[in-house]
Amino acid sequence: MDDQRRAVEGVGVTGVADGAFWKGKRVLLTGHSGFKGAWMSLWLHRLGAKVTGVSLPPRTQPSLFALAGIDALTKSHFCDIRDAAAAAAVIRRADPEVVFHLAAQPLVRAGYREPLETFATNVQGTAHVLDALRPLNSVRVVVAITTDKVYENLEHPQPYRETDALGGHDPYSASKAAAEIVIASYRKAFLSEKGMAVASARAGNVIGGGDWSEDRLIPDAVRAWAENRVLEVRRPDAVRPWQHVLEPLGGYLRLAERLWEDPALAGAYNFGPEAGDVATVRDVVHLAKTAFGSGQVAWGDGAEGPHEAGWLALDTAKARTLLGVNARWPLATAVEQTMRWYKRQHGGGDARALCAEDFDAYERASTGGTR
């Protein structure tokens, strides 16, 4: 069905995700109370999908989940994926066609503080979700989200490809690398023979409005500057593949669409910015301060705290070539949109409406890809 026919029938193609594909699809989304999960809930609702959400209650106050009314847009269940029986019962009742697994302990420094909880959630929890899918006949596509930190980081200036070795110095990174092995095992041993196309998605550092997590650069900056405090930056020269939250989420949606069409595309995929758009923490702080309008910063020397990688970038050629996924917003735009969201929300703006404006702007943005 081409774009013209969809338009005639009243079902639009956003240019990022196919509205005709998602309309009425039964989607299971784990981690829907988190930052990325709340944005994904909004996007799937916008596309007309029927979403069942499974997660713990929001970890932060405030939370995008509460402010944007995600509970009213989904069949929402607060359930710990470390409880295999409870998670399986919810998943069975959802009878999903497409599964996005985002639920995780998502923070590096929290992983150092609580390594057992991190491994239990990210490794065993992933196994629980995938095992709950084994008896189901409805599921066609599974996209399990890990991280750019799954690679054995050699601190070299070459972007990591999906075929590079997995590793992980800290518990968070190691748990996500282990989850990749679990995902591959379930795909090969159980799920592919049932007709399920299973992929993992490895995304770079994500920014966007509505994140109030601890120890994340932009939320820390917003909190500090809104209260006229000094932002303390531990590792200003660390390099990361920064991207707006809509970039990887659009990639996940496109990946699911392509897996439905062609299950042979199952496997691991990197999602990140263009190669030239990786940047230091210092670069991002300068952009954020300009967009915010003011703010004081104290630069650390990189020695504080436990070990974290100094250089990390992703090769996204596979997603570009096989999925037609290309970055739409350069780093400066991503930071500007993010700080604009926070400033307007802090001034009384409605969170869901602000997200809708970002969706509109993102869908209008040009891209060099096929979609």
CATH number at residue 276: 3.40.50.720
What is the predicted pLDDT for the residue at 4?
A: 30
Report yes or no: 219 and 64 within 8 Å, Cβ to Cβ: no
* 16: in domain: no
Instruction: Give the pLDDT score at 276.
Output: 77
Whether 323 maps to a domain, the answer reads yes
Residue 144 maps to a domain: yes
Q: Show the CA angle centred on residue 188, arms to residues 182 and 189, nearest 5°.
A: 85
- Return the pLDDT at 72: 97
Global confidence as pTM: 0.93
* Each residue's pLDDT expressed in tens, for the chain with a length of 371 residues: 333 333 223 233 345 899 999 999 999 999 999 999 999 999 999 999 999 999 999 999 999 999 999 999 999 999 999 999 999 999 999 999 999 999 999 999 999 999 999 999 999 999 999 999 999 999 999 999 999 999 999 988 899 999 999 999 999 999 999 999 999 999 999 999 999 999 999 998 999 999 999 999 999 999 999 999 999 999 999 999 999 999 999 999 999 999 999 999 999 999 999 877 889 999 999 999 999 999 999 999 876 767 677 889 999 999 999 999 999 999 999 999 999 999 999 999 999 999 999 999 999 996 543 33
Residues 6+ apart with CB under 8 A from 147: 106, 172, 173, 176, 202, 203
Q: Which domain holds residue 316?
A: 26-364
Q: For the range 64-69, what are the long-range contacts, defined as Cβ-Cβ under 8 Å and sequence gap of 24 or more?
A: 64/35, 64/38, 64/39, 64/209, 64/210, 64/211, 64/351, 64/355, 65/32, 65/33, 65/34, 65/37, 65/38, 67/210, 67/345, 67/351, 67/352, 68/38, 68/42, 68/210, 68/351, 68/352, 68/355, 69/352
**Is residue 20 included in any domain, yes or no?**
no
Is residue 6 situated within a structural domain? no
- Is the residue at 325 inside a domain? yes
Question: What is the amino acid identity at position 242?
Answer: W
- Mind listing the pLDDT tens digit for each residue in 96-134? 999 999 999 999 999 999 999 999 999 999 999 999 999
Number of residues in the chain: 371
At 156 the pLDDT is 84
Task: Give CA torsion, residues 136, 174, 120, 130, to 10 deg.
Answer: 0
pLDDT at 207: 98
Residue at 15 is within a domain: no
What's the domain count of the chain?
Answer: 1
Write out pLDDT tens, residues 28-49.
999 999 999 999 999 999 999 9
Look at residue 283 and tell me if it is in a domain.
yes
**Spatial separation of the C-alpha atoms in residues 208 and 211, rounded to whole Å:** 7
